[in-house]
């Protein structure tokens, strides 16, 4: 079994309003950072996984994203896997 | 003025307990994904910024992270900037 590290990004879909991001965009203005626009906030998830090879690890991470980490109605995800 | 896109990762520091990550690690076991360990959950933030050059954009994003996006007591951050 090899150990892999996965880095997953879960972001609100483009067509969906991101209220947290909107609030932060507003706060940027109050802080004087008027050049900053369109803040969007999602999740960054790291995890360790043991698997025979990259394909198996990738399939397991995909399953984890689909069943637990991302809400596919409102969010999309991408991930990278690297051997450690 | 050039437009840049920044991708920011804000993660709980290694020495700090991540209760959300711990809970998700436990749920992975219940879902049958017993090979997954050490889940850590942070934020992934994207934003657009207008600046004269990459250095200025980078300094502004750093300021935004320090003053609003990351809690430096419990979190650390990294970011990448690309021209769009």
Residue pLDDT tens, chain A, 84 long: 899 999 999 999 999 999 999 999 999 999 999 999 999 999 999 999 999 999 999 999 999 999 999 999 999 999 999 999
CATH at A40: 3.30.1280.10
Residues of B in CB contact (< 8 Å) with A are 1, 9-11, 21, 24-25, 27-28, 31, 33, 35-51, 60-61, 63-64, 67-69
- Residue A61 has what pLDDT? 97
**CB neighbour list of residue A21: distance below 8 Å, 6 or more residues apart:** A12, A38, A39, A40, A41, B45
Residue B46 lies in a domain: yes
Q: Can you list the pairs that B14-17 forms with residues at least 24 positions away whose Cβ atoms lie under 8 Å?
A: B16/B74
- Residue A20 has what pLDDT? 95
Residue B67 lies in a domain: yes
Nearest Cα neighbor of B37 from A46, A29, A32 is A46
**CB neighbour list of residue A70: distance below 8 Å, 6 or more residues apart:** A10, A76, A77
Q: Can you list the pairs that A33-38 forms with residues at least 24 positions away whose Cβ atoms lie under 8 Å?
A: A33/B60, A33/B63, A33/B64, A35/B1, A35/B49, A35/B50, A35/B51, A35/B60, A36/B47, A36/B48, A36/B49, A36/B60, A36/B61, A36/B64, A37/B47, A37/B48, A37/B49, A37/B50, A38/B46, A38/B47, A38/B48
- Domain that includes residue B9, residue range: 2-16+42-83
Please report which confidence band the pLDDT of residue B39 belongs to, taking 50, 70 and 90 as the band edges. very high
Decide if B45 and A40 are in contact by the 8 Å CB cutoff.
Answer: yes
Instruction: Quote the number of domains for chain B.
Output: 1
- A49, HSE (Cβ side, Cα atoms, 13 Å): 29
Residue B29 lies in a domain: no
Q: What is the pLDDT of residues B5-24, one digit of tens each?
A: 999 999 999 999 999 999 99
Across chain B, mean pLDDT equals: 96
From CA A69, how far away is CA A54, in angstroms rounded?
Answer: 20
Q: What is the pLDDT of residues B64-80, one digit of tens each?
A: 999 999 999 999 999 99
- Residue B21 has what pLDDT? 96
- Residue B81 has what pLDDT? 97
Residue B23 lies in a domain: no
């Amino acid at each position: 079994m090899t150990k892999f590290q996965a880095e997953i990004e879960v972001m609100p879909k483009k067509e969906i309003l991101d209220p947290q991001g909107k609030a932060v965009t507003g706060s940027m203005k109050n802080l004087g950072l008027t050049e900053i626009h369109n803040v969007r906030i999602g999740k960054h998830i790291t995890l360790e996984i043991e698997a025979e090879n990259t394909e198996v690890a990738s399939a397991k991470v995909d399953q984890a994203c689909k069943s637990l980490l991302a809400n596919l109605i409102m969010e999309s995800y991408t991930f990278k896997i690297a051997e450690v």
